[in-house]
C-alpha cells in the first residue's frame, strides 16, 4: 500500500496498533466483555451516528466526482440501516433505557470526537472529511478483520465484529484510502497538512474512546 493515506497511518502506527490490540477488542472477540462495559461503549458510540452521517453528507457534497458521491451514499445507507438496527437490537438485549440511548451523559472523549467530525464537515473540504472517515472506518476494519479468529457466540459481540469485517466494508475502506491518496495529489501543502491534522486527531480520539470504556 502506498500513497498519502498509507503515510498518515504509518505516522500514527503506535496509537493505531494500540487500538487494534486493545483490551476491548480482545474481550469482544473472546465474548467475555462485561455487559456493563459493552453497554457503556455502545451508548457512547451511538452518539456518533448523527454527526457521522452529517460528515458523510459533507463528503458527498464536497466530492469532486459523481462516482465518489455514489460510493459514499451507498455507505451512508448501510450506516442508517444495518448498523443502526444493530444498535437498537443490542440496546434491547442489554436493557438500555430510552434516555440512555438518546440523551446520555457524554464522556469528554465522545464530545471531542463529535466536535472533530463537525469541524471536518464544516470545513467543506473533501480531503478533511476523507481523512476522518479513513480513521473511523479503516481502524475498525483493521481490528475486526482477523482471518481465522473465531467469532463469539452472542450477537451483541459477533455482529459488531462482522459489521466491520465483510467484503462490502473491506471494499469501502480500500476505496476510502485510495480516494484520500488520489485527492491529496491535487492539494496544496497547507491543505495536506490540514488533512493530516484531522487524521492524527481522529486516531488520538479513537484510542481515547477505547480507553474510556474502562473508566
459477533: which residue's cell?
158
Output DSSP code: residue 187: S
Is the CB of residue 113 less than 8 Å from the CB of residue 47?
no
Q: What is the mean pLDDT of residues 6-18?
A: 98
* pLDDT tens readout for residues 121-177: 999 999 999 999 999 999 999 999 999 999 999 999 999 999 999 999 999 999 999
Provide, rounded to the nearest whole percent, the portion of the chain with pLDDT above 70: 100
Average pLDDT taken over every residue of the chain = 97
Q: What is the mean pLDDT of residues 90-109?
A: 97
> Is residue 195 predicted with pLDDT exceeding 80?
yes
Quick one: which H or E segment has residue 72?
Answer: helix 66-78
Is the CB of residue 116 less than 8 Å from the CB of residue 201?
yes
pLDDT band at 213 (very low <50, low <70, confident <90, very high): very high
pLDDT band at 1 (very low <50, low <70, confident <90, very high): low
- Whether the model clears a pTM of 0.85, i.e. scores above it, the answer is yes
> Is residue 13 predicted with pLDDT exceeding 60?
yes
Per-residue pLDDT, 71: 98
User: What residues have CB less than 8 Å from 27, skipping those under 6 apart?
Assistant: 33, 37
Cα–Cα dist 105/116, whole Å = 18
Is the CB of residue 132 less than 8 Å from the CB of residue 117?
yes
> Is residue 2 predicted with pLDDT exceeding 90?
no
Helices and strands in the chain: count of H runs, count of E runs = 13, 0
Domains in the chain, start-ordered, CATH in brackets? 4-212 (1.20.910.10)
Amino acid at each position: 500500500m502506498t500513497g498519502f493515506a498509507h503515510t498518515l497511518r504509518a505516522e500514527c502506527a503506535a496509537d493505531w496498533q494500540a487500538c487494534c490490540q486493545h483490551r476491548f477488542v480482545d474481550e469482544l472477540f473472546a465474548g467475555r466483555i462485561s455487559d456493563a462495559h459493552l453497554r457503556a461503549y455502545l451508548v457512547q458510540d451511538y452518539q456518533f451516528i448523527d454527526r457521522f452521517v452529517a460528515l458523510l453528507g459533507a463528503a458527498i457534497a464536497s466530492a469532486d466526482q459523481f462516482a465518489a458521491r455514489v460510493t459514499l451514499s451507498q455507505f451512508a445507507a448501510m450506516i442508517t440501516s444495518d448498523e443502526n438496527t444493530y444498535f437498537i437490537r443490542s440496546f434491547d438485549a442489554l436493557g438500555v433505557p430510552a434516555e440512555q440511548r438518546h440523551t446520555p451523559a457524554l464522556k469528554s472523549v465522545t464530545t471531542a470526537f463529535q466536535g472533530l467530525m463537525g469541524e471536518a464537515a464544516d470545513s467543506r473540504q473533501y480531503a478533511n472529511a476523507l481523512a476522518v472517515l479513513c480513521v473511523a472506518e479503516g481502524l475498525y476494519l483493521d481490528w475486526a478483520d482477523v482471518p481465522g479468529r473465531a467469532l463469539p457466540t452472542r450477537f451483541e459481540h459477533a455482529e459488531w465484529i462482522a459489521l466491520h469485517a465483510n467484503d462490502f466494508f473491506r471494499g469501502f475502506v480500500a476505496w476510502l484510502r485510495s480516494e484520500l491518496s488520489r485527492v491529496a495529489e491535487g492539494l496544496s501543502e497547507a491543505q495536506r497538512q490540514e488533512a493530516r491534522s484531522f487524521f492524527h486527531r481522529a486516531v488520538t480520539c479513537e484510542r481515547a474512546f477505547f480507553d474510556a470504556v474502562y473508566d
